[in-house]
Chains A and B, each alone.
Chain A
Amino acid sequence: MGGIVSQQIGTRVVRALAILTLILIASLLVGLAVGSQRINPATLFNDSFSRTLFFRLRLPRVLLGLVIGASLAVTGGALQALFRNPLADPYTLGVSGGGALGASTAIALGWSARVAGVPLVFAASFAGAMLAVSLVRMIARTGAIVMPGALLLSGVAVNLIAFAGVTTIEYLTDPSSALRILRWLIGSLDIVGLQPIGRMLWVLAPAWLALLALSRQLNLIAIDEDTASTLGVNVRRCEAIVHTLCALIVGVTVSAGGAIGFVGLIVPHAVRMMFGEDLRIVLPGSLLLGASFLILTDALARTVLSSGELPVGAITGLIGGPVFLWLLHRRQQYSAM
């Protein structure tokens, strides 16, 4: 049997996750060290100002990057498989936009309240994300197939509507709310203290696990929907669950960090290039590499200007936009949209 050197999938998964975990540890160290104030173990030990800075600002920010990066990347990988479209991600499909519109509506209306312990900003963000993904799917799905072109175009339109809505709200509302809303447009990781991250993880960790548990079904759907179905996968049910999980994850991340673009597009592709197409590697791999990616881009955002910092969404957009165009170009070469 010439040339089939395919290793056992189990071995491949372990190897990929080991490598990506090492990358994540390295990214964490870089993210924690760089910034307006360089911090190393000695300053952390001796200097109380550095210590406060580290635990109140630096560490929470890096961890928020980890959580949001992982979330967006795993969502992107799942949506690409579900729609069999390499250009799908929460941002390009308008899911993030829907979430941002929901979150800013909640803020403009002064909904700082909680219902049964759930902040209304998050509930509104989840509702917006869910509405967006349902709308895009409804338009793109004709009968048994999802039209790839229609999917992306309706995503673009939903995004435009959402951002126009956010801008309108920003103008109508009072200046302090407007400033808070502005960050939803581009995405940033400003955060103080660790508590918000703990609260996010209550929702995110189970949602990540649920998505990973579906990676085998998603792998079959990524190959072909009918095939998946004849192999025993309940495609419609899987689709509904993945939609809800993605909207939930995006709702949480957007209400904390805004609409950070293209992380979910770039990262799964990078994992595929390194370790192959199997979703059982791509999804957990995206979780790890997405965390590293956003930690590193945020480190860049904090250091690229000599004074002040860029919002991280500007950096991911500047990197991700061209990657999107390159993928589109490559795709056009072998299949018409």
Chain B
Amino acid sequence: MFEAQHLDYAYPNGPLVVRNVSLTAEPATMTAVIGANGSGKSTLIRMLTGLLKPRAGKILLHGVPFESWEPRLRAREIAYVPQSTATAFPFQVIDLVLSGRTPHTLRFRFESTRDVDIAKEALETAGAAHLGSRSFTSLSGGERQMVILARALAQEPRLLLLDEPSSSLDLKHRAALIRALARLRQTKDLSVVMITHDLQLTGAFDRVLALRCGEAVACGAPGDVLRDEILRDIYSDPNVRAQAIGDQTFVWVAL
């Protein structure tokens, strides 16, 4: 159980970029975070990973304040998929995925065969099994993202935080990503918080949190949040349309 309460954040000498945002991630739920560029989504998720310290508000993990957790133990609970990873060295993909096992292995021990098996399974789940022996620097942006997802899965977290993981994925891999997450929610009670600009994907989520200028303007089931007036507000554009077709909502901008 993961609870963020009334979070505020401001960069040094800057205005508040996240203001009074609360978010709860129960086991086996998927939450999408949407909003225009610069609305504070990434800042919010970086606070949830522990990379940024909130200026105000608190984050509780299993009822214990975030900062009282030992970093290594916290890393067994929460994994993070950043927007992009630029590595200066040509690490082999399988080794990079294996690094996700770090929180589970003793400091001066090498990873075990079991860790290697978990890493391979994670690659398979992420749809990147064929990339295992390639070097990370030789991969395309989309392939890199699948590998980074595999690294996060190898961490075997209970909460997975993703920052626009679908942005450089093609249609097929976007669908595969969402299906994989939904499957993990079912089989492993995985809880997911994911930033996305791809509003069609939010149909598979339990909840959508919409941010505008750092504030939560709506939070609820996808059908309740993906509505003309809310979307027009968060994107500041009167031409945004949303329409339900079957059980999915489609959003477009009339040009």
What separation, in Å, do the CA atoms of A233 and B50 have in the docked complex? 12
The B61-99 residues at the A interface (CB cut-off 8 A) are 70-75, 78-80, 82, 85-92, 94-96, 98-99
What separation, in Å, do the CA atoms of A230 and B95 have in the docked complex? 17
Q: Is the C-beta of B49 less than 8 angstroms from some C-beta in chain A?
A: yes
Interface residues of A (CB under 8 A from B): 1-6, 8-10, 13, 84-86, 148, 213, 216, 219-220, 222-224, 226-227, 229-234, 272, 276-278, 280, 334-335
Contact A230:B88 (CB < 8 A) given known A1-B120, A278-B95: no
- Residues of B near A231 (CB, < 8 A) are 75, 99-100, 102-103, 155
Q: Is the C-beta of B130 less than 8 angstroms from some C-beta in chain A?
A: yes
Q: Give the top 8 A-B pairs by smallest Cβ distance, nearest first.
A: A232-B72, A4-B132, A232-B75, A232-B71, A10-B110, A3-B133, A230-B80, A84-B88
- Residues of A near B102 (CB, < 8 A) are 216, 220, 231-233
Q: Is the C-beta of B137 less than 8 angstroms from some C-beta in chain A?
A: yes
- Residues of A near B86 (CB, < 8 A) are 224, 335
What separation, in Å, do the CA atoms of A234 and B73 have in the docked complex? 13
Rounded to whole Å, the gap between the CB of A211 and the closest CB of chain B is: 14
Determine if A224 and B80 form an interchain contact, defined as CB atoms under 8 angstroms apart. no
What separation, in Å, do the CA atoms of A280 and B94 have in the docked complex? 16
Our pick among A6, A9, A85, A227 for the contact of B133 (Cβ within 8 Å) is A6
What separation, in Å, do the CA atoms of A191 and B87 have in the docked complex? 42
What separation, in Å, do the CA atoms of A4 and B94 have in the docked complex? 8
16 contacts between A and B (CB under 8 A): A2-B130, A3-B133, A4-B94, A6-B95, A84-B87, A86-B88, A219-B99, A223-B87, A226-B82, A227-B99, A229-B71, A230-B50, A232-B71, A277-B90, A280-B110, A335-B86
- Residues of B near A1 (CB, < 8 A) are 120, 124, 129, 132
Chain B, interface size category, equals 35 or more
Our pick among A9, A223, A226, A234 for the contact of B80 (Cβ within 8 Å) is A226
Interface residues of B (CB under 8 A from A): 49-51, 70-75, 78-80, 82, 85-92, 94-96, 98-100, 102-103, 107-108, 110-111, 113, 116, 120, 124, 129-130, 132-133, 137, 151, 155
Q: Which residue of B lies closest to A12 (CB)?
A: B110
Contact A6:B116 (CB < 8 A) given known A231-B103, A232-B72, A278-B95: yes
Q: Which residue of B lies closest to A3 (CB)?
A: B133
Determine if B51 and A223 form an interchain contact, defined as CB atoms under 8 angstroms apart. no
- Residues of A near B75 (CB, < 8 A) are 230-232
Rounded to whole Å, the gap between the CB of A206 and the closest CB of chain B is: 17
